[in-house]
Structure 1
Amino acid sequence: MKTTSRILGVIPARGGSKGIYNKNLKLLGGKPLIYYTIQAALKAKLLNTVIVSSDCYKILQYAQQFSGITVPFVRPESLATDVASSLEVVKHSLDFYSRFGCAFDFVMLLQPTSPFRSADLIDRAAKYLIASGADSLITVRKIPDRFHPSWAFQAGEQGLYKVVNDSTQLISRRQDLPDNYYRDGKIYISKTALIQEGMLVGGKIASLLTEDEPDINIDTFSDWEMAQNHIHLWKNLQKENC
């Protein structure tokens, strides 16, 4: 499938990090964490422009080494805090380009904290969203049955109560549980119009299963250790798929 839609890829990589210090430049398998997302974005075929948005000069200098990666600005400090949202970061990128008369139909957010993301997945996500006619797409994985929302409870003054379907009988058989999914953080892609309306994910939402790739989103040291255990296998898999 060929597409004439213009897609902006945004790699957000602020300098500060409370969980893991200097996380985006921390070496994973001998390469900075951000390296893996940059490589996947560059190998993808459907991203027209790929930028790194950061407030950190070291990160920006590192990104400039890669042909095909654009570093159009230094992200404002107000958008590099713990409370700054991904939506604000993406909208800032779009607004920057709009000032120069450059428009995009879609924006894809690629967070470096999900290093195990293939270029093929990026292209499949873009193709699927465009073909579906949906407004946004997230990559997802199936919630394991033991964590299913229908089997989840919260504590209240009168004891435990079910989180969902509180008025219905408890589903006792695993086989009767409806499929539920959680977002894995690998890919968010949205129509530009949706971003301008103040939503990163919304409208008609499409999804893409990613069960063929490791499910690791690095926020804590235990996540980092998991990534270290997978990195050599992932590198070998990427070589095989070249």
Structure 2
Amino acid sequence: MSDDASDDVSDATTEPTAGLTVAIIPARGGSKGVPRKNLRTVGGVPLVVRAIRAARDAAGIDLVVVSTDDDEIAAVSAEAGARVVRRPAEISGDTASSESAILHAVDEIESGIEARREKVGVIAFVQATSPFIPSEALAGAVAEVRAGRGDSVFSAHETYGFLWRREGDGDGAQATAINHEAAHRPRRQDREPHYLETGAFYVFRAAAFRRSRHRFFGRIRIAEVPEWTAIEIDDEQQLRLADALAAVHDQTQDAAARIDVRAVVTDFDGVHTDDTAIIDADGGERVRVSREDGMGVALLRRAGIPMLILSTEQNPVVRARAEKLRVPVLHGIDDKEQALRAWAEGEGIRLDDIAYLGNDVNDLPAMRIVGWPVAVANAHPRVLAAARVVLTRTGGNGAVRELVERVLPD
């Protein structure tokens, strides 16, 4: 953490802060630059869900809340494990401030916990437009405020850049140096670093925020984050750039991590099989499956983790294999998303707690709604792009077993 002095120290305190620590994610349905921005995906995951996960994974946060005026955002946020606060129309327009949404959300939260005599002590204002929020840095900011070492902490990255201001218009426009002398170009190691606000998160004491109605007050501190995480989504180009970064970063981060889910759902053709079929003279099909996958499914079943095979094909071979594996199957399914939603609701399992293993474009709707979209190694390029994890094995050659081993605890 770095310090940044503030002129307004009237709200400063060195005492630890009591009460709940609540992450609040404002997510309006309307967006001019990128329509339906908060639901657009980066690395196959909606922006609002990425923010929820980052806040949920940050130590010290007691409750994650999404403030929205939009039914679809509300549904997606609830499925991802957030509490939803419905934002009234008067603070949902283009000119409404984030501060107004946060104040409204805190009022709603505290009215719901009044019987427990708890108040919100610390607020973590998290922005869904920042797809790469480091949970560790967010947790560190929370710890600073809770311990009384800072009153307001924000994410920023170190920069040694030379900043300029453009003055005037047209042919008469000129550039003026801001943080340096134009005629003096010191080496990087001889320059003083500055810090560029990323907009990813702001953590502050709730009581002082109510008084100041602003996110900066008292002793302001900086939570340093890596520069590459600083991208904010304000246009389509930034969305494409974030998607490209996610393809590298997310899969690298998740490559060796355990897939922590409560259920596994898979496609059949191209996942349990190598996506080829032998057709006899009577039109019957034979497919090639992996005994290794069969053992993996048996281990999953013994661990008590539900599994479902969800297939577009209406074929006796699908049911025969499911019966052999002793797992339920839904086949002949045109709308995999709705079928998966219905199954998850019936099982009482949140979509965010499900891994879906697919290989082709008809799997994309189901992959987009689960917490862990997974692809076999030889999946369609669009499926690879949407996957949170890409396995090392191909369909019919142990991909299901690989997924099971990542799901089961050591």
Counterpart-to-counterpart distance in 2, 1:171 and 1:187: 37
User: What is the CA deviation profile of residues 170-200 of structure 1, one whole-angstrom value per residue up to 9, with x for unaligned ones?
Assistant: 6713345432111101111111122112111
Aligned to 2:126: 110
- CA RMSD across the alignment: 2.7
CA 21–103 in structure 1, closer or farther in 2 if over 3 Å, else same: same
> Do residues 62 (structure 1) and 76 (structure 2) align?
yes
Please report how far the alpha carbon of residue 42 of structure 1 lies from its aligned counterpart in structure 2 after TM superposition. Answer: 1.8
Q: 1:204 and 2:216 equivalent?
A: no
- Superposition pairs for residues 155-194 of structure 1, below 5 Å? 155=167, 162=176, 172-175=184-187, 176-194=190-208
The equivalent of 2:245 in structure 1 is 230
Counterpart of 1:143 in structure 2 is: 159
AA aligned to 1:210 is V
Counterpart-to-counterpart distance in 1, 2:153 and 2:181: 33
- Counterpart Cα distance in 2 of 1:159 and 1:218: 29
**d(CA) in 2 for partners of 1:58 and 1:81?**
17
Provide the rounded CA distance (Å) in 2 between the counterparts of 1:57 and 1:159.
47
- The answer to whether structure 1 residue 29 and structure 2 residue 20 are counterparts is no
TM-score (norm 2): 0.52
- What residue is the counterpart of 2:303 in the other structure? none
Inter-partner Cα distance in structure 1 for 2:18 and 2:209: 20
The higher radius of gyration belongs to 2
Secondary structure at 1:45 match in 2? coil
169 and 17 in structure 1: CA distance in 2 versus 1, 3 angstrom threshold: closer
**1:145–1:174 contact (8 Å) kept in structure 2:** no
Spell out, residue by residue over 1:141-172, the C-alpha distance to the aligned partner (whole angstroms, 9 max, x if none).
1234232xxxx34526998685758xx97671
Q: Does 1:17 align with 2:31?
A: yes
Contact 1:87 1:195 in 2 (8 A): no
- In the TM superposition, residue 83 of structure 1 has moved relative to its aligned partner by 1.1
User: For residues 78 and 163 of structure 1, what CA distance do their matches in structure 2 show?
Assistant: 41
**How far 1:57 sits from its partner (Å)?**
0.6
Give the CA deviation at 1:98: 3.2
Partner of 2:234, secondary structure, is: coil
Aligned residue type for 2:184: S
* Residue 118 of structure 1: how far off its partner (Å): 2.8
Output the amino acid matched with 1:87: E
Q: Deviations over 1:59-97 (max 9, x none)?
A: 101111133x211x3101121111111111111111223
Q: Displacement of 1:129 after TM fit?
A: 3.1
Q: 1:48 to 1:143 in 2, by over 3 A?
A: same
Query: Please, what TM-score do these two structures have when normalized by structure 1?
Result: 0.84
What letter is aligned with 2:221?
A: A
1:33 Cα deviation from its structure 2 partner: 1.8
Is the 2:144–2:150 Cα contact (8 Å) retained in structure 1? Answer: no
Does residue 93 of structure 1 match 2:105? yes
Q: Which runs of 5+ in 2 are unaligned?
A: 1-15, 259-410
> The residue matched to 1:105 in structure 2 has which SS?
strand
Q: In the alignment, which residue of structure 2 is the partner of 1:38?
A: 52
| Residue identity opposite 2:79 in structure 1 | Q
* Percent pairwise identity: 25
Call closer, same or farther: CA 1:221–1:48 in 2, change over 3 Å. Answer: same
Q: Distance in 1 between matches of 2:174 and 2:23?
A: 44
Mapped to 2, the partners of 1:93 and 1:66 lie a distance apart of 18
How has the CA–CA distance of structure 1 residues 57 and 183 changed in structure 2, closer, same or farther, with 3 Å as cutoff?
same
Higher relative contact order (CA 8 A, sep 6+): 1
For 2:159 and 2:111, locate their aligned partners in 1 and report how far apart those are by CA, in whole Å. 42
Structure 1: how far apart are the matches of 2:185 and 2:106?
48
- Matched position secondary structure for 2:86: coil
Q: Which is worse superposed, 231-240 or 2-11?
A: 2-11
Which amino acid in structure 2 is aligned with residue 190 of structure 1?
Answer: F
